[in-house]
Structures are given as C-alpha cells and as structure tokens.
C-alpha cells in the first residue's frame, strides 16, 4: 500500500481528512495523493436550489456558486500546504524511496465523479469524510466510490485519529466483501498491536468457526489477535458492532460494504450506512 488518495474539499473538515490519511500512511511510508475536485458552477447547480431561481435571482445564484468554487479551490490548496509544513511532509510529484511519507496536491475538474472514480482506481486506499458533500459533488459521492472504485475506502470520523497501529477491529462475516476488506486492510493490520475479529451471530445461532480460523491465520503471521463473538441485540447487527468497537477501543474498524443488492439495501436498510452514521470511528470499507 504505497499511495493514499485523500479528497480535500476546501472546508473545515479537511484537517480531519488529512490527519486520517496521514495515520494510514505513516506505518507504511506511503505517498499522500491529495486531490481537490473543482466543480464548475453549472454542474454544482444540480445539487443546490438554483433550479428554483429565475432571472436576476438565477444570475446571482450562479455567480455565488462560481465564487464558492474558487474559494473551495484556494482553501483546499492552503490547507494542504499548511498541513504538510506543520507535519514536515515533503511535497513532491511522486513517492520517493527512503523519505518516509511524502505528499502531492492537484486539482481535477468536471466530469467530477468520473475523474474522482478514475483517480481512486489508481490508488491503494481512498480517504474521505462521511458527511454529504457540499462543494458541488453529488451527495452520494461516498456511496458511489465504495460501490464502483474497486479500492478500499477509509471513512474519516469527526475527530482526527492519533494512530491506526493500536487496536483495529475487523467485522467478520463469511462473505466475499468481508474477505476483500480483510485482504485490502492486511498491510495496515500487520502493523497493529492488537487486532480484534468480531462476528455477530443471531440468538441461538452458530457460525463462529470461520472467525476463529481467520484470527488463527493472522496469529500464525505474527499478529496479536482476539476473537469476539457477540449476539445481535436490540440494535441489530450495526448496534452490536458499534458496541463491540466501543468496548475494545478500536482505532479503526474494517468491514465489507453493501453485501446485499442496493434494492434490498434501500428496502430493508443497510448495515453499512447505519454503521457509518452511528459509529464515530474511522471505518475502512471494501465492496
């Protein structure tokens, strides 16, 4: 894992995203590829109330969107420069051997979501915030990336993490997306002091063997592991996982994302969306 793509919006959330990306990059001496997507006013208008404006009101609204787009770009660049200077991170175009964590900053323009997805596919890890986008991107940008970029997405919490090398909790279910999440997170897991494999079972159910086998595999490779098999409580699977993360003091949560079809997720609810909403810890997701 050598490149960490961080989405920098140009808002007060940038500091948390930058520190989350750095926490992931530090144990791996990875390169921070910091990206701002500049969305033109006419495209940003799709996700604002501009469509209800007419005449002078429309012109004023479009001028305001143009001003905001320029401001977001300027603020994003300033945030990156200030962060790298404070953290003593060298800004260079590409990773450099033996220099530890390095960083680069660039700006992409529309088509925003297509360019963002393409950049994500060329990275080893994607870091972004969990709040809905306000810089002109689609409100569903996070969900789109998780489902379409084919790379692990690290969703930042509301506070910046100090490290990811303490305790990591892996939410295990014997499924393809959970397996892909563990595989994607293995470079980070290998640096953790403690990895807790948590599996939720329904009352009276079994199915704990797989999680013990997984923990044993990591233990063979020198990782300090624990297993927690928890019962689904009144909050269902997301509630049980959130409580387990709190109990073990997880610095990072790893899980597979969107295991069911999106239609079923919309009808019956999504464990992924609920955990993102209710668990204020960094969460690494892989579809």
Q: Where along the chain do its domains lie?
A: 3-155, 167-286
Where would I find the beta strands (DSSP E) of the chain?
3-7, 31-38, 90-91, 102-109, 125-128, 153-155, 167-171, 194-201, 225-231, 252-256, 283-286
User: Which residues have CB under 8 Å from 101's CB, separation 6+?
Assistant: 22, 25, 26, 29, 30, 31, 32, 89
Token code pair at residue 140? 């569903």
Nearest to 36 by CA among 68, 4, 5, 2: 5
Query: 258 versus 12: which is more confidently predicted?
Result: 12
Token code pair at residue 284? 């690494």
Banded pLDDT at 117 (limits 50, 70, 90): very high
Q: With pLDDT > 90 as the criterion, what percentage of the chain qualifies?
A: 56
pLDDT digits (tens, 9 = 90+) for 143-192: 999 999 999 999 999 999 888 999 999 999 888 999 999 999 999 999 99
* The pTM of the whole model exceeds 0.85: yes
Q: Do domains 3-155 and 167-286 have the same CATH topology?
A: yes
Task: Report pLDDT for 153.
Answer: 97
pLDDT digits (tens, 9 = 90+) for 226-237: 999 888 766 688
Q: Whole-angstrom distance between the N-terminal and C-terminal Cα of the chain?
A: 18
Burial class (CB in 10 A: 0-12, 13-18, 19+), 179: middle
Which H helix or E strand runs over 145? helix 141-148
Q: Which numeric CATH code is attached to 167-286?
A: 3.40.50.620
Token code pair at residue 16? 């948390």
Q: Which numeric CATH code is attached to 3-155?
A: 3.40.50.620
Query: 208 versus 215: which is more confidently predicted?
Result: 215
β-bridge mates for residue 90, sequence order: 102
The C-alpha atoms of residue 181 and residue 252 are separated, in whole angstroms, by 13
SS3 category, 153? strand
The C-alpha atoms of residue 96 and residue 29 are separated, in whole angstroms, by 10
Query: 1 versus 57: which is more confidently predicted?
Result: 1
């Amino acid at each position: 894992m050598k490149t960490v793509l961080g989405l920098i919006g140009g808002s007060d959330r940038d500091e948390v995203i930058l520190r989350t990306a750095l926490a992931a990059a530090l144990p791996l001496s990875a390169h921070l590829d910091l990206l701002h997507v500049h969305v033109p006013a006419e495209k940003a208008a799709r996700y604002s109330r501009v469509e209800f404006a007419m005449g002078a009101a429309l012109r004023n609204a479009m001028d305001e969107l143009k001003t905001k787009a320029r401001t977001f770009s300027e603020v994003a660049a300033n945030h990156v420069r200030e962060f790298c200077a404070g953290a003593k991170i060298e800004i260079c175009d590409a990773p450099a051997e033996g220099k530890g964590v390095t960083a680069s900053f660039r700006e992409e323009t529309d088509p925003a979501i297509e360019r963002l997805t393409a950049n994500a596919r060329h990275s080893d890890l994607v870091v972004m915030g969990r709040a809905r986008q306000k810089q002109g991107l689609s409100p569903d940008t996070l969900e789109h990336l998780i489902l379409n970029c084919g790379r692990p997405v690290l969703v930042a919490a509301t506070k910046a993490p100090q490290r990811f090398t303490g305790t990591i909790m892996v939410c295990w279910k014997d499924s393809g997306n959970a397996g892909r999440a563990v595989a994607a997170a293995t470079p980070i897991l290998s640096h953790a002091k403690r990895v807790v494999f948590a599996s939720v079972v329904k009352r009276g159910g079994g199915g704990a063997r797989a999680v013990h086998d997984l923990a044993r595999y990591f233990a063979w490779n020198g990782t300090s592991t624990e297993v927690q098999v928890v019962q689904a409580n009144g909050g269902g699977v997301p509630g049980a996982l959130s409580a387990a993360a709190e109990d073990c003091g997880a610095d990072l949560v790893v899980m597979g994302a969107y295991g069911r079809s999106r239609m079923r997720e919309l009808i019956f609810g999504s464990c992924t969306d609920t955990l993102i909403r209710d668990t204020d810890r960094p969460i690494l997701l892989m579809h």
